[in-house]
């Protein structure tokens, strides 16, 4: 068993305070055996301060690595000391949670659409490229397929998507936003880490390729990027006729399926 | 009940609280740690196990003994002989042209359906094949399944009872299994801990079960509850 061989320490345990379930090694062994069950990690992170800190430092990261190894490897590449903007818990939430949608200035809704646990998600770099304006194409961005939210008979379906930048602090996108002195949104916050966000629509940084990628009508979308490089957005999805297809030309290039269903018991 | 192993060598293990346990080598080397000590030739005298209390060590030895017994009961020479008998009887029956390779080809090939091969197939395919002459082959071949899996089940039940202990004993077992490097024990105890966690329906229940005190303020508690509400 790899855990055993990796973690075998032929030394006495440090002190009795670290015994039992608080012993980090035991925790890692147990959680690994249950494949970093999301529910269990959430509970563990709520038990006491020490475990909350351990979760923040280690457990959420292990979960992300286990569920999306390629994406995490790419993202962590831009994070030298093993940390990631907004924290690993925020990334885990981004991986498994569709944040729903409310009306905003550039995107009006008749009624808000509810957030929910995401059953299965696919994040793709190629997709992300479509969301970067030409001058920012050097950045690396993962974006999910849109999650479809029906809005009733008379309206198109709503598409809600989310994504994450690699190394946002050093990205062209961020440099551009700051150079243009784009103001933060007053009423919107990042649903994943709670920080301030910029509206890319307002910043005029939404390329035409974004709508095409989503299968949406031009101009009928909006997305936000927060200071940690999390992206969340919405669009109206054009109903597809049988001879139309959504552009889907990647898969050789770092798209990753994340199975949320495996966690939902 | 346990047959003595070939070397019959006995090792002396010393617990943290200085109790000496005499254990057969075949039992003790279930622990990779001890196995390494033996293989390095350092097993002269007493092997000190600095972190394992006698109470836990006693249980660990019981686990190892049980697993050695189980392996011996299910892997004894008599079964090997039965398999050999079955193999030779298969070769004799049916389409025997004296070549074992061809024999193999005949019954492995699914496409090959002439009469002689069908008989070959019947000989080793025990399911649905219960005429008298083949019954013995079936029984010999299916020696594992013929136990109704009851030995495996029996072991599983024994293991489940073994790990059904209070949490302090469970931790002690876990740490000992980790230190001594006994994979079977480690896996089983980990599974037990995981099962116990998963059965708890609330954070408070986990705290109670594992004796963990919350050191959050009420505001922090609320904040945390909010933070994880998204998985519901």
Of the candidates B50, B187, B212, which has its C-beta nearest A1's C-beta?
Answer: B187
Q: Where does the pLDDT of residue B98 fall: very low under 50, low under 70, confident under 90, or very high at 90 and above?
A: very low
Domain residue ranges of chain B, discontinuous segments joined by +: 10-73+151-199, 77-146
Give the DSSP per-residue string, B145-189: GGGTTHHHHHHHHHHHHHT-S-HHHHHHHHHHHHHHT-HHHHHHH
Q: Which residue of B35, B212, B218, B224 to mutate against A (max A Cβ within 10 Å)?
A: B212
CB < 8 Å from A in window 19-78 of B: 32-33, 50-51
In this complex, do B191 and A38 lie within 8 Å of one another by their Cβ atoms? no
With CA atoms as reference, the chain B residue closest to A194 would be B227
Q: Strand, helix or coil at B78?
A: helix
pLDDT confidence of residue B91: 60
Angle, helix B132-141 to helix B115-124, in steps of 10 degrees: 50
What pLDDT is stored for residue A215 in this prediction?
A: 86
| Beta strand spans in A73-215 (E) | 97-98, 116-117, 120-124, 141-144, 147-149, 157-165, 197-199
Q: What is the pLDDT of residues B170-199, one digit of tens each?
A: 889 998 999 999 999 999 999 998 888 888
Residues of chain B neighbouring A17 (CB-CB closer than 8 A)? none
| Maximal CA-CA distance, chain A | 68
Q: CB B214 to CB A25 under 8 A?
A: no
pLDDT, tens digit (0-9, with 9 covering 90-100), for A109-121: 888 999 999 877 9
Q: Tell me if A29 and B232 make a contact (CB, 8 A cut-off).
A: no
* B198 to A30: CB separation less than 8 angstroms, yes or no: no
Domain B10-73+151-199 indexed as CATH 3.90.1150.10:
no
pLDDT of residue B7: 60
A contact set with B (CB within 8 A)? 1, 4, 7-10, 12-13, 19-23, 25-26, 29-30, 33-34, 37-40, 42-43, 45-49, 51-52, 89, 93, 96-97, 115, 117, 263
CB A237 within 8 A of CB A216: yes
According to DSSP, the β-strands at A197-199 and B20-24 are unpaired
pLDDT in tens, B35-53: 999 999 887 889 999 999 9
ipTM for the predicted complex: 0.73
Going by C-alpha positions, the residue among B181, B165, B151 that lies closest to residue B69 is B151
- Alpha-carbon distance of A171 to A154, in angstroms, equals 41
Half-sphere exposure of A223 (CA within 13 A, CB side): 29
Closest partner CB to A42 (pick from B194, B200, B228): B228
Of A4, A47, A52, the CB nearest to B183: A4
Share of chain A above pLDDT 90, in %: 57
Distance CA B190, CA A32 (A): 10
Q: DSSP letter at A119?
A: S
For residue A88, pLDDT beyond 90:
yes
């Amino acid at each position: 068993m790899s855990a055993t061989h990796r973690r075998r320490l032929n030394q006495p345990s440090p002190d009795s305070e670290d015994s039992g379930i608080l012993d980090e090694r035991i925790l890692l062994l147990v959680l690994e055996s249950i494949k970093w069950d999301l529910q269990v990690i959430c509970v563990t992170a709520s038990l006491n301060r020490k475990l909350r800190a351990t979760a923040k430092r280690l457990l959420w990261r292990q979960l992300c690595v286990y569920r999306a190894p390629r994406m995490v490897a790419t993202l962590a590449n831009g994070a030298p000391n093993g940390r990631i903007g907004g924290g690993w818990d925020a990334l885990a939430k981004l991986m498994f949670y569709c944040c729903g949608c409310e009306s905003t200035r550039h995107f009006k809704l008749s009624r808000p659409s509810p957030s929910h646990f995401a059953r299965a998600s696919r994040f793709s770099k190629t997709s992300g490229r479509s969301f970067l304006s030409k001058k920012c194409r050097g950045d690396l961005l993962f974006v999910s397929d849109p999650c479809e939210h029906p809005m009733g008979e008379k309206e198109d379906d709503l598409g809600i998507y989310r994504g994450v930048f690699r190394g946002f602090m050093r990205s062209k996108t961020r440099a551009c936003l700051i150079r243009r002195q784009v103001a933060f949104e007053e009423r919107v916050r990042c649903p994943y880490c709670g920080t301030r966000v910029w509206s890319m629509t307002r910043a005029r940084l939404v390329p035409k390729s974004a709508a095409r990628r989503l299968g949406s009508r031009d101009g009928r979308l909006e997305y936000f990027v927060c200071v940690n490089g999390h992206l969340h957005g919405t669009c109206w999805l054009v109903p597809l006729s049988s001879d139309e297809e959504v552009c889907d030309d990647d898969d050789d290039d770092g798209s990753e399926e994340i199975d949320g269903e495996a966690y939902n018991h | 009940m346990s047959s003595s192993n070939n070397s019959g060598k006995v090792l002396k293990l010393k617990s943290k609280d200085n109790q000496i346990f005499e254990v057969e080598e075949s039992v003790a080397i279930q622990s990779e740690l001890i196995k390494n000590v033996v293989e390095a030739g350092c097993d002269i005298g007493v092997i000190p196990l600095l972190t394992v209390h006698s109470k836990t060590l006693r249980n660990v030895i019981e686990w190892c003994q049980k697993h050695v017994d189980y392996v011996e009961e299910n892997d004894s020479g008599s079964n090997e002989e039965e398999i050999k008998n079955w193999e030779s009887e298969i070769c004799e029956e049916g389409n025997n042209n004296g070549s074992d390779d061809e024999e193999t080809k005949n019954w492995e090939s699914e496409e090959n359906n002439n009469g002689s091969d069908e008989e070959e197939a019947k000989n080793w395919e025990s399911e649905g094949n219960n005429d008298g002459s083949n019954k013995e082959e079936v029984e010999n071949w299916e020696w594992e399944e013929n136990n109704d899996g009851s030995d495996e089940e029996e072991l599983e039940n024994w293991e489940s009872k073994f790990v059904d202990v209070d949490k302090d004993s469970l931790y002690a077992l876990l740490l000992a299994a980790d230190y001594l490097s006994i994979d079977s024990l480690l896996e089983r105890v980990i599974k037990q801990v995981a099962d116990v966690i998963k059965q708890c329906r609330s954070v408070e229940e986990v705290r109670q079960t594992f004796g963990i005190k919350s050191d959050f303020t009420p505001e922090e508690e609320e904040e945390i509850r909010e933070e994880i509400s998204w998985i519901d």
